[in-house]
Each structure stands twice: as structure tokens, then as C-alpha cells.
Amino acid sequence: MKIVFAGTPEFAAHAMRAILDAGHDIVLALTQPDRRSGRGMHLQASPVKIVAQEKNIPILQAVTLKQNHPNQKKSVEAQEAYQHLSTVDFDAMVVVAYGLILPQDILDLAEKNGRYGCFNIHASLLPRWRGAAPIQRAIESGDRQTGVSIMQMDAGLDTGGVVLKKALDISSEETSASLHDRLAQLGAALMVQTLSSLEQDKSLTATPQPLDGVTYAEKIQKSEAEIDWGMSAEKIDYCIRAFNPFPGSTSFLNGEPIKLWNSRLGSDQAMMHTKKPGTILSMSSDGVLVQCGQGVIEILEMQKPSGKKLAASVCIGPGLVESVFGQ
């Protein structure tokens, strides 16, 4: 099949490579404009653009696709993008973490002339965790299960009918980084399966999402990263693992900022401690035990400013037992 592919990060690039490996022809890649990043703030191409360049796939990088954008320059750019897309011969459109809203005129274009429409890989079991950060919010909320939904897109925020879905269990050691990689692999496989079914059957049944169970995964903000040690050990553990790799949970120790990258619940949750929340209770070769509002958490990996990620006990050393995080 001839596919227009819209996506930006590595999660999308993984699906893009799988679609190409399955023998489909990606005739155009839509991806966000290059961004400045790194210490030198150099312009960096998105992972999807890199794949497209490797495979000699035409690339379209629009700031917006809204033709009625209040900024006239952006509106003109969107009109030009629409005109370009309208000249492309394709069968279906695949969208994966593109980062731009697809307006109704683009969705209509994907259904014209006998085309099959626009399909999206979403990293949750819809209707739970619609929105920008489903992977992080699932871990932060203590979900025991998530998955991938292949959705036929409409103009709403992740409201389209689901044509295929599959669940994954979330382990007690899962970080957003590890879950991202597993979901990327699953999403790519499900999209290839979807396109294969579409090619063979010429149609797919999209099941409307139920009205019950809708939740929204708001975009992760850096302001969420600082740990509140008055929370329960369980909740803090969720947050640390959810915010790995971005933005990285933070606290202060003896006035110095420190990143907390990995954790698990302490083995003595039933024991009573009277120390102030944030107090380092003890250390072991595996980690640092810290008093929380309820229970004890074991911090496994930390990072000082300008330093490397290290085992927590190595990072702070044994002399800081009885010190208090957050001060």
C-alpha cells in the first residue's frame, strides 16, 4: 500500500521502519520542524526525518496544518502543505506521535478517492489515557496494565473508533523508558497487522470507544518533577519511575539539587518509623532507604549536577545517613 506517514519521535520511527520492512511504500513523511537541542543548541532532525532521509522518502515539515491559523505566515504555510498533500497519490495515512493536530480537511483528504482514512497508534488502552503522555501517566497512576490501540482518527482528541488493541502488563520495576520501548515494538506490529488486514479485506471495523472510563494524560511539566516526601512511598515510587527519562524526578540534599532515576518500595513497609519524611534511614549496596509520609522507599539510582547516573549509595556516600532530602 501507498502510505503517508506522520510522526516525529523514536516511537514513531520504530513504526515507520516496520511499515517499510513489511513492504509498504511510504510516499511522504510529515514530521515536525528541526529543533535545537543539546549543549550546543544545534538544529536536530527528528528520528522520523532521519529514517525518511535514509530511505529517500519526500519530507514535509510544517509548523501547523491549520489553514485558518491566526498567524498569517503560518496559515499560508499550512495552505501550501495541504496543496502539496492533495497532489500525493496514497491509500491511507498513518499517524504516530506527530505532535500536530490534524484538522478536518486533512482527515477528509485521507478518505477521498476511495482511500481508507487515517490510522493512529496510541500507547494506551483507549479510552483510558487519551492525550499527550499516556505512558508516563499510566505508571504515575499505578496502573497494572496498559497497551496499544490502533484508532481510526477523527477530529477529536483520541476519540476515534478502535480497530485493534492489545494489552501489556506494567511491572513493579517499569520506567517510562522501558515501557516506551515495549509499547513501540507492540504498536509497530499492530499497525503492520492493521495495514495487512486493510490491504486484504479492503475495510476494517472501528469499534466506538465507550463513554465510561475516559481519562486524559496531560502533557508532563517540569514543575511536576520535584518529589514531595510527604506522599506515600508507593506514590513516590510511581513518580520516580514515571518521570524517567523525562523530566527526571528531583529533590535537594544538603542544599544541592539531585536527580532520582530509579526506585522500589522498601522491604520493611510494615515497620513504623518516626523520622521526618525525606530522612535517609540507611544504605546498602543496592540503594538508599528513605522515610516517606507513609512507608519507606529505596532509591536505586541518582545523579548529581553535571555528574553521571550512579548507584544511589555510590552517588551520595555513607556519611549522609540521617540527612534529609528536600533541604
Residue 242 has pLDDT above 80, yes or no: yes
pTM as predicted: 0.93
Task: Quickly state the pLDDT bin for 268 (edges 50, 70, 90).
Answer: low
Q: 283: alpha, beta or left, given left = phi > 0 and alpha = psi -120 to 50?
A: beta
Q: What is the mean pLDDT of residues 217-242?
A: 96
Q: What is the mean pLDDT of residues 257-284?
A: 84
Q: How far apart are CA 159 and CA 118, in angstroms?
A: 13
Q: Which CATH number fits domain 2-217: 3.40.50.170, 3.90.280.10, 3.40.50.620, 3.40.50.80?
A: 3.40.50.170
Q: Does 245 count as an annotated binding residue?
A: no
Q: Does 126 count as an annotated binding residue?
A: yes
Start and end residues for every CATH 3.40.50.170 domain found in the chain: 2-217
Q: What is the mean pLDDT of residues 144-169?
A: 96
pLDDT of residue 272: 59
Q: How far apart are CA 198 and CA 281, in angstroms?
A: 58
- Over the stretch 161-216, which tens digit does the pLDDT of each residue have? 999 999 999 999 999 999 999 999 999 999 999 999 999 998 899 999 999 999 99
Q: Does 257 count as an annotated binding residue?
A: no
Residue 57 has pLDDT above 70, yes or no: yes
Q: Architecture of domain 222-320 in CATH? A: Roll (3.10)
Q: What is the mean pLDDT of residues 135-156?
A: 97
Q: Would you list the DSSP string of 131-183?
A: ES-HHHHHHHTT-SEEEEEEEE--SSSS-SPEEEEEEEEPPTT--HHHHHHHH
Start and end residues for every CATH 3.10.25.10 domain found in the chain: 222-320
pLDDT of residue 133: 97
Number of H helices, E strands in the chain: 8, 17
pLDDT of residue 30: 98
Q: Does 263 count as an annotated binding residue?
A: no
